Amino acid sequence: MLDDKIEAEKPGVSRRSLIAKGLALGGAAALGGATTASAAGNPANQPPNVPEWSKVLGDGVAVRPYGHPSKYESNVIRRDVEWLTASRESSVSFTPLHELDGIITPNGLCFERHHGGIAEVDPNDYRLIIHGLVDKPLIFTLDDLKRFPRVNRAYFAECAANSGMEWRGAQLNGCQFTHGMIHNVMYTGVPLKILLEEAGLKPNAKWLLLEGADAAAMTRSLPLAKALDDCLVAYRMNGEMLRPENGYPARVVVPGWEANMWVKWLRRIEVGDEPWQHREETSKYTDLLENGKARRFTYVMDAKSVITSPSPQAPLKHGKGFTVISGIAWSGRGKIARVDVTLDGGRNWRSARLDGPVWDKSMTRFYVEFDWDGSELFLQSRAIDETGYVQPTKDELRKVRGVNSIYHNNGIQTWYVAPSGEVENVEIS
């Protein structure tokens, strides 16, 4: 798929050309000149005047013992889509990807997917049971888990149904809704391997049953080999304890695999010799093909990317001139090796600049800086991971998988940017 359309261009924009182009910025006005109309605001608070907030004492320390964002950022929230599900208890809310940057998702904005609502677990009564094909069945308290060696790792968690509504065509007009069932945080937890070895595995142990303490008793089968490889029983995210929405006080982290397997409010691990064929791996979270058969145990989230800004909820409102395209890429098979971006619907591609940590099975941030001439754009991004896997087009996916599934859609996303700067979710062929 990597064809000759890729320009022989170095990633990013050279410092020299950037600065020359930067002078075209509408808003960087000489002192005394006019500033951009888009941020007109209140001239009384702008140079040469001293703003109001410089004249009065503000709130003191610890007025907010646990802080929250500025009141001017009240639009940066998780959102659900009312018609998408029958109840809020078995539903989804989406991460506002278009309002974020970098690779860390703030805990308060991590997407939610619950099957029986948020279990409000009392940490004093929290217990994790490990039993089945083990030498010694064990029950751990939360304090017990904290006494085992712990590690810190950042991983993306993506719902298998992320972008699922787009199988039959462009539908949801916002990056938050098409791609917002993903978050990326730094976990602290115990390698699952250590807990299993503590219990002692019988020779015929091959699979784990993971069960949550929520009202849905969310249950999935996990191959033992994956559990022993890189899975965690995590109790912290981004430094603090897990949030209730994310499995407080402990959940499983299954790096690179569909987030439904990352069982929250983890209550029980049973060790067995075959998968349990549970509801969530037979009726749900399988991919129904055109011939009526279903792909099953499709755990790995393949390489994917999306431009988060501009996007329908984040239009290019400043008009023509120098601008930054920002996006994210990830792969369940390892590190992101490269991201290509096209401005013209695939005729010409350039390599994006990857910035910040490029980690195994973690979100990677990419940028493309360019001087927009104000004409219409068809933006796409295409992720390539370290195994050489290339993110496919939606049509390529449909050819193989049909359009019956709502899972595992990692097709290339197209945003149409109008000369007005408005952005729309479209498909081009």
Instruction: Return the residues of window 310-369 that contact a copy of itself according to CB under 8 A.
Output: 317-318, 321-324, 326, 353, 355-357, 365, 367, 369
| Binder of a copy of itself out of 6, 36, 289, 419 (CB under 8 A) | 36
* Of residues 249 and 256, the one with the C-beta less far from a copy of itself: 249
Cβ proximity of 261 and 155 under 8 Å: no
Is residue 203 within the footprint of a copy of itself (CB under 8 A)? no
E strand or H helix that includes residue 207: strand 207-212
Residue 96 has what DSSP assignment?
A: -
Query: Which residue's entry shows tokens 């009384």?
Result: 44
Cα torsion 413, 338, 368, 164 to 10°: value is 20
**Total binding residues for a copy of itself by CB under 8 A?**
139
Buried b (16+ CB within 10 A) or exposed e, 54-63: eeeeeeeeee
Establish if 131 lies at the interface with a copy of itself (CB under 8 A). Answer: yes
**In terms of DSSP bridges, do strands 232-237 and 207-212 run parallel, antiparallel, or are they unpaired?**
unpaired
Contacting a copy of itself within 218-257 (CB under 8 A): 236, 238-241, 243-245, 248-249
State the nearest-atom distance from the C-beta of 126 to a copy of itself, in Å: 8
Site residues (CB under 8 A) for a copy of itself, limited to 264-303: 265, 267
- Determine if 149 is a binding residue for a copy of itself (CB under 8 A): yes
Member of 188, 381, 410, 425 binding a copy of itself (CB under 8 A): 188
Site for a copy of itself in 157-186 (CB under 8 A): 186
> Do residues 26 and 33 make contact, with C-beta atoms less than 8 angstroms apart?
no
* Binding residue for a copy of itself, selected from 42, 283, 291, 429, defined by CB under 8 A: 42
Q: Is 374 in the site for a copy of itself (CB under 8 A)?
A: no
Q: What is the dihedral of CA 113, 115, 121, 126, to 10 degrees?
A: -100
State the minimum distance, in angstroms, from the CB of residue 370 to a copy of itself: 11
**143 belongs to the binding site for a copy of itself (CB under 8 A):** yes
133-229-330-425 Cα dihedral, nearest 10 degrees: -10
Name which position in 1, 9, 27, 273 contacts a copy of itself (CB under 8 A): 27
Q: Which residues contact 39 (CB under 8 A, 6 or more apart)?
A: 27
- The strand pair at 321-330 and 364-372 is best described as antiparallel
Shortest distance, CB of residue 146 to a copy of itself, whole angstroms?
7
Quote the CA–CA distance of 400 and 289 in Å, as a whole number. Answer: 8
Report the Cα–Cα distance between both ends of the chain, in Å, rounded.
15
Cα separation, 45 vs 311, whole angstroms: 31
User: Would you say 247 or 332 has its CB closer to a copy of itself?
Assistant: 247
List 2, 19, 418, 428, residue binding a copy of itself (CB under 8 A):
19
Contacting a copy of itself within 71-110 (CB under 8 A):
71-73, 76-80, 87-89, 91-93, 99-110
Nearer Cβ to a copy of itself, position 110 or 172? 110
Cβ closer to a copy of itself: 88 or 296? Answer: 88
* Residues within window 52-71 making contact with a copy of itself, judged by CB under 8 A: 53-71
